[in-house]
Amino acid sequence: MKPGKTKDLVLCALFVALIAAGAFIKIPIPVVPFTLQYLFTMMAGILLGGKLGFCAVGAYVALGLLGLPIFAQGGGIAYVFQPSFGYIIGFAAGAYITGEIANQSEKPGYGRLLAANFAGLAIVYLFGMAYYYWMSNFYLGTPIGLWPLFLYCFILAVPGDIALCILGAILGKRLIPLLNGKGRVTYEQT
């Protein structure tokens, strides 16, 4: 196996573990729990690129659906019936979009990283809110109107995610050179 491939596998596995850990760091708000999952899915896109970021988040989703309790409210195939499952689907699509935008440049600046993070966040919310609306109105039989959906699934949750986008840009700017081998710390022999 090529060294680059081994590094990619290790980084993907690391992000699967970070996303799972992020699910357990919760700030309780109504309807959709605020966790650090988005930070780690966003960072997967930034640091691994769109395709590998998508693969890392996809592996996380697959493990959760196979029964590991790594989602914010458990795990298992029945989790697809949770109205908040759309956000998890959105994490994968968002990681891909974030990674594709951020990695158009070898050394992306803060502006590009912020734009990538906000584009990924828009995708997460698009998937999450559409799925929540559909599940509530057509499967669960607990109809939700567009204004309550917008209030509970966007307005109450987005301020924390905006802060995570800013943090992600700062972290990405510092970590990209390290992963590319251009920011390595060297030690002198004594």
The alpha carbon of 83 is separated from its chain's Cα centroid by a whole number of angstroms, namely 18
Which residues of the chain are modeled with pLDDT < 70?
1-3, 29-33, 182-190
- Cβ atoms 57, 95 nearer than 8 A: yes
Residue 37, C-beta contacts closer than 8 angstroms, at least 6 positions apart: 19, 22, 23, 72, 91
What is residue 67's predicted lDDT score, i.e. its pLDDT? 95
What is residue 185's predicted lDDT score, i.e. its pLDDT? 46
pTM reported for the whole predicted model: 0.88
